[in-house]
Structures are given as structure tokens and as C-alpha cells.
Amino acid sequence: MHWLHRLGPEAQSLNEIHSKFLQMIQDGRHIFDAAANALLGGTSPQVIRNDLFETDRRINRTEQEIRRQIVVHGSIHGAATFPALLVMMSLVKDAERIGDYAKNIFDLTKVGLDLEAGPREAALVPLKDKISKLLVRAHGLFERQDTAKAREFLSEVVELEDECDAAVEELLRLSGRNTSPAVLTYRYFKRVISHIGNVVTSLVVPLDKLDYFDEPRDKQ
Amino acid sequence: MNGIATAPSERPEPPTQLQRTLGVLLRVALVLLLLYFFLVAIQMMGGSIKMMGKDASEGLFAGVNNPFAGLAVGILATVLVQSSSTTTSTIVALVGGGSLTVEQAVPMIMGANIGTTITNTLVSIGHIRKSMSFRRAFAAATVHDFFNLLCVIVLLPLEIAFGFLAHSAEWLTSLILGAPGAESAAHGGVHYDSPIKVAVKTAFKALQGLLQDFGFEGTSLAVAILVIGIALTFTCLILITKNMRTLVSGPLEHALNRSLGKSGLIGIVIGILVTAAVQSSSITTSLLVPLCAAGILSLENAFPIMLGANIGTTITAMLASLGTDERGGLTIALVHLCFNLCGVLLFYPIKRLRRIPIQAARFLANKASENPFWVLGYVAGVFIVMPLLGWWAFGKLQ
């Protein structure tokens, strides 16, 4: 009776796209950890360089595969599937951007970052760990389509984004030392956090509101 | 993923495995029932023309004695119903009922092959606002047209001169059914019908009796059966295609995903399998148009899938022949198969020949993307004006 499960409108196709997207999130966590550890954790950039770029290429390939599958799926199944496919089209971009920001973070290893320069610099290490855990949790939430915990998750995302904004503001006001690497790191961290947030947003808001989970805060 | 873009409270419960399995089984049963009605419809069309008498049927099809007129009728009929399966099934019914000869029907079958390509050409016009997408989409649609046109240009004169398709199909018919009269002889002169044919004839006779109860007799009875037969054929094919498309959409998507970036025999096999499953080459070829428009499938990789679709679509005529009385029904269905196989063998294996329809489609698509009047001129010219002129001019030559 196995052949029966392959027939029918639902079939395996969306599940396959879903799995590939989860793989992108997993790779996103891997590449973020690698880059952030090279910048903040003392891992030698030379050691992880090849792995980091290979992971980024894999993320990009998966994004393209998913896009192709989305076009095929939409052509076969028609308009009924468009909302889900449009959401996925947007989400793969978010997952791909995590890879890009990880590379930006890795590029900062060329100039280096002094963690003992001040409290904001020192706070980057626990923030890095929180982001890494966010990526793991986002993967789990998306896999289980856990809408209840998604809202809780998004409020944490907003808090972390605020923390990054406050740090950038404070660092920019400082004078007497070079705060640019720390500012850029906070900025990149915030972008990674936002992209993870966008992914989880898809669990709780309709298509047109995608990416706008922090809108009420902006209006205040 | 399901319902991903809706708020949690609005999300419908996904079907359970049991519900899904039952749904699939019901759909399979529905398709089998529709296939049965399709065969009954074929029997009705063939039987009704036979009931009209020899003179009436000869008068009806006198206009297609000229092969070019037959070709034109095949194109026009298919353009009108947007389904070569309906046209070829009708032709099979007419040949199987003895109203048309195989020789008369061969050009009509070729015409059906050309006529069916209008569907994906019309689909490609949906991309006309985006020049690059339209160029790719229109090329993907018209490569099928050019291939079918080239096949007719090469094979129709050969068929008129030597009748090689009809002879090959007759030889194949003898292989399948035995020599004419052999079956009866083997059963002591008693004609033996398959259980399918018996079931089909029973339904046909029941309907005939029902119509007679309503007062239909003679010619009015034949006309009523013919009209119902045509309507039933059309309806059954639409519903079979619709249900089969739903049933095989998963494997179809899987196959298409795997075929992207691959060419050659894999594409041909995928085209055959997909089209045989959905019973419509238009579905297969129209699916390729948006993939080519998006640039994820190249014209070179789409082309073999279309060739496979041409072969796969011949299964409908084969099925239709099961509902006919005469061996001619199977013969003309085999002509359809032989014609499409010859086309593939002629234009695919040699790279230079393969490039002819591809380059022609690219040339036309470039022109069409620069000036939309090329689209109008091409569609109207190939699918309407030329066949109408051909029918009018050659139909007079007996």
C-alpha cells in the first residue's frame, strides 16, 4: 500500500521543501556559530574558513533548489498553494541572509575585536550564545509548527533587537576608542536576530503581515 | 507548511492517513468508472454512425477524402475542443465503427497532433507582459508546434505515396489481434468478445432501448446517440484528466523536479509516463511553459519531455479502440503511435535535426517578443486560417 501514499494532491513535495528549509536553518546556525566563535571565541579564522564558505555555498544552493521546487509546485498545484509558496519564497531569503551576515561577522576577524575594551564588548559573548540558541529554537518551532511558543519567542527576539540598538547607540556616543568593530558586530547580530524572527513570524501572522512582528513597537 | 500563512485558529485540520488513503482509492475507482463510460461513449459514436447507414456516413465524411482536407479537419476539430484526445478518440470511434477508412483517418490524426499544440501556445501568451519570460515561454510552447508541423511536412507526403504508417499499423494490429478472421476461426467461426467489450455493448444497448422507449427511432435515434456519445466522450476525458492530474500530482512533481537539468531519454520517458497518466499532452506541455518562462527549465531540456508527451498521449486512442467493434479502431490508434514514434526517431537522435524546431521556436519567440502581431499572426495563421483554407480548397477535390 506504500504506492498509495505517493498518490494524491498533498504527496511528499511540500514536505521535501519544508525539510530543505529546515536544513538551511541548521546550516545557518552552524555558519553563525563558526563566524561568531572566530570573532569572539578565539577560534582561528584559518581553521574554520573553508567550512564556513562551504556552508554558505550549501545554503545558497539549497535556496536555489527550493525556489525551483516552488515554481514546479506552483505550476502543478495552482493558485491554492500560492500563499504557502510565497511565504516559503520569503523565508528562504531570510535563511540565506543569515549566511551572508555570518560572513560579514567573519570578515571582522581581519580587524579584530577587543572583548575587554568595555562592558558592551564583553556582552557580545553571551549575546552570541543567545542567538545560537534562538536558531536552534527557531528550527524546532518551525519543525513542529508550534504557534503557541512562537509568540513567546518573538517577544524575546524584540528584546534582543532592542538590546542591540541600545548597544549601538551607546557605542556610537563613546569617544576616545575605536568602537566600529563592536558597532558592526551588534548591527550584524541584530540582523541575524531579525531574520530568525521573520522565519518564526510566518507561524503566527498572515502572509501580508510577514516580517512585521515588531510593528507595534515601531509605532510607539 | 500547510496553512502556513493563516492565523492558527483558521487552519483546517490536515487529513489523516486513513482519510487520504480512502480519498485516493475513491478517486481511482472514479477514474475506472469514467474509463468505462468513455468506452461506452466511443461505442455510441461508432454505433450511431453505423445506424445512419452507409450512404449517410459516406456523405458525412466525403469532405475528408482528400488527405489535406483531412489534415485541416483534424487541426480545426482539435483547436475547437482543445483536446487531441477527444479528436483522436472520435476518429478511433469512426474508424472502429466502419464510417471512416484508416487511409482517410491518418491525416486527421496528424492534424490533431498539430491542433493540440494551440493550448500551450495560449498558455504562453499569459507571460506577454514580461519580455524575457514571454520569449522563453513562447519558445517553449512553439517548439512543440514546430516539431509537429515538421513531422507532418515530412511524413504526410510519405504516407500519401507509400501508406507506410497505415501498413505498419495494420501489421501491428495483426500481431496483436491475429490475422483478420483468425479469431473467429479459432473459436469455430463464433465471434468472441472480451468482457470489457461485452460490458460496453450492454450499456450501449441499454441506452438504445431507453431512447427507443422515449420514442426515438431510425435517424433520430442515431443522431441522439451520436450527440450523447460526443458529449459523454468530452465529459469523461475532462474528468479523467482532472482526476488523474490530482492523483499523480505528487509523482508528477517529483519527476519534474528530477528532470530539471537533465535531458534526453529521461525527459522522453517522463513525458510518456506523465502524459499517459493524465491522458492529456496539453497538460504536460502546458506545465512546462511556466517552468521555461521562469528560466528553471531550458528549451533543450523541455523538448524531449514534449516528445515524450506526444508518444504518451497515444494511449487515449489505444483505450478508445477497446470500445470499438472493428479492428480498424486499433489500427488507427496504432497509426497515432507510429506517427509520433517516427517523429521522435526522425528529429531527436541527430543533433542537427533536433536543432531545427528549437531554432525555429527561438526565432519566432524573438520576433514575437519584439512585436505581438507575430503572436496573433502565428496563432491565427497556423491554427485557424490555414486549416480553414485547406479544408475549403482541398475539401472540394474528391
- Test A9 with B249 for CB contact under 8 angstroms: yes
pLDDT for A137 equals 95
Tell me how close the Cα of A78 comes to any Cα of chain B, in angstroms.
10
Does the distance separating the beta carbons of A7 and B5 come in below 8 Å?
no
CA distance B257 to A68: 8
Domain boundaries, chain B: 37-179+213-395
- DSSP for B274-301, please give it: HHHHHT-HHHHHHHHHHHHHTTSS-HHH
- In this complex, is the C-beta atom of B320 within 8 Å of any C-beta atom belonging to chain A? no
Best to test chain B binding among A1, A5, A13 (most B CBs inside 10 Å): A13
Q: What is the pLDDT of residue B9?
A: 43
How many contacts, defined by CB atoms under 8 Å, are there between A and B? Answer: 102
Cα A58 to its chain centre, rounded Å, is 15
| A10 in reach of chain B (CB within 8 A) | yes
Best A1, A2, A7 member to test B by mutation, with max B CBs in 10 Å, is A7
Q: Is A8 on the interface with B (CB under 8 A)?
A: yes
Q: Do B256 and A76 touch (CB under 8 A)?
A: yes
Per-residue pLDDT reduced to its tens digit, B295-346? 888 899 899 999 999 999 999 899 988 888 778 889 999 999 999 999 999 9
The answer to whether B53 and B97 are in contact (CB under 8 A) is: no
CA distance A48 to A30: 11
Alpha-carbon gap, residue A30 to B207, rounded angstroms: 70
Of A11, A17, A87, the CB nearest to B249: A11
Give the C-alpha separation, A165 to A97, whole Å.
Answer: 19
Q: Cβ contacts (< 8 Å) between A84 and chain B: which residues?
A: 1-5
Q: Which of A31-35, B64-68, B209-213, B259-263 has the lowest mean pLDDT?
A: B259-263
pLDDT of residue B192: 58
Backbone angles phi, psi at B349, to 5 degrees: -60, -35
Q: Which of residues 54-73 of A touch B (CB under 8 A)?
A: 67-69, 71-73
- Between B45 and A166, the more confident residue is A166
Long-range contacts of B358-363 (CB under 8 A, 24+ apart): B358/B143, B358/B299, B358/B300, B358/B303, B360/B142, B360/B143, B360/B146, B361/B138, B361/B139, B361/B140, B361/B141, B361/B142, B361/B143, B361/B145, B361/B146, B361/B299, B362/B139, B362/B299
Least CA distance to B284: which residue of chain A? A76
Contact A11 B250 (CB under 8 A): yes
Q: What would the pLDDT profile of B70-115 be if each residue is shown by its tens digit?
A: 898 889 888 888 888 888 988 998 888 888 889 989 999 999 999 9
Position B387 scores a pLDDT of 86
Would you say A179 and A173 are in contact if contact means Cβ atoms under 8 Å apart? no
Decide if A75 and B4 are in contact by the 8 Å CB cutoff: no
Interchain CB distance below 8 Å, A5 and B7? no
Higher pLDDT, B28 or B6: B28
Summarised one tens digit per residue, pLDDT across range A43-98 is 888 889 999 999 999 999 999 999 999 998 988 888 778 888 899 999 999 999 99
Quote the DSSP letter at residue A10: S
Residue B260: its chain A contacts at CB < 8 A? 68, 72
Q: How many Å lie between the alpha carbon of B162 and the closest alpha carbon of chain A?
A: 42
How far apart are the two ends of chain A, measured CA to CA in Å? Answer: 58
Cα B45 from Cα B278, distance rounded (Å)? 23
Partner-chain residue, chosen from A4, A8, A207, that has the shortest CB–CB distance to B5: A207
Residues of A in contact with B257 (CB under 8 A): 13, 68-69, 72
Q: What is the DSSP letter of B21?
A: H
CA distance A155 to chain B (A): 18
> A204 and chain B: CB distance < 8 Å anywhere?
yes
Q: Give the position of cell 522565519.
A: A199
Burial of residue B244 (number of CB atoms within 10 Å: 0-12, 13-18, 19+): buried
Any B CB within 8 A of A42 CB: no
Give the integer Cα–Cα distance in Å for A213 and B294: 31
CA distances from B262 to B11, B42, B192, B266, B395 (A): 38, 39, 47, 7, 45
- Give the separation between CA B65 and CA A154, rounded to whole angstroms: 75
Instruction: Name the grid cell of A151.
Output: 509568540
Q: Which residues in chain A (129-188) have CB-CB distances under 8 A to chain B? A: 145, 147
Computed over every residue of chain B, the mean pLDDT equals 84
Query: Are residues B204 and B43 in contact, defined by beta-carbon separation less than 8 angstroms?
Result: yes
Alpha-carbon gap, residue A53 to B385, rounded angstroms: 59
CA B197 from centroid of its chain's CA atoms: 22
**Rounded Cα–Cα distance for residues B67 and B103 (Å):** 8
Q: Is-contact A87 B5, C-beta < 8 A? A: yes
pLDDT greater than 90 at residue A138: yes
**What are the angstrom distances between the C-alpha of B28 and each of A3, A84, B9, B35, B264?**
13, 28, 33, 11, 31
Whole-angstrom Cα Rg for chain B: 22
How far is it between the farthest Cα atoms of chain A?
73
Cross-chain residue pair A8–B3, CB shorter than 8 Å: no
* Contacts with B249 from chain A: Cβ below 8 Å: 8-9, 11, 76-77
Residue in A closest to B293 by C-alpha: A71
Cell of B19: 482519510
ipTM at complex level: 0.71
Residue A148 scores a pLDDT above 90: no
Question: C-alpha grid cell for residue A88?
Answer: 516559503
Architecture in CATH of A12-219: Up-down Bundle (1.20)
Q: Categorise residue B279: left if φ over 0, alpha if ψ from -120 to 50, beta otherwise.
A: left
Quick check: B296 and A11 CB within 8 A?
no
Q: Distance, in angstroms, between A80 CA and closest chain B CA?
A: 10
Helices (H), chain B: 17-52, 54-60, 67-81, 84-96, 102-115, 118-125, 131-162, 164-177, 182-186, 195-213, 218-259, 265-278, 281-293, 299-312, 314-321, 327-347, 351-370, 373-380, 386-395
Pairwise CA distance, residues A12 & B132, whole Å: 32
Predicted confidence band of residue B191 (pLDDT cuts 50, 70, 90): low
B257 touches chain A (CB under 8 A): yes
Q: Could you tell me if B250 lies within 8 Å of chain A, comparing CB atoms?
A: yes
Whole-model pTM: value is 0.79
B53 touches A at CB < 8 Å: no
Please check whether residue A88 touches B, CB under 8 A. Answer: yes
State whether the Cα torsion A34-A39-A42-A46 is positive or negative.
Answer: positive
Subunit contact B254:A12, Cβ cutoff 8 A: yes
pLDDT tens-digit profile of B218-249? Answer: 888 888 998 999 899 889 988 888 888 888 88
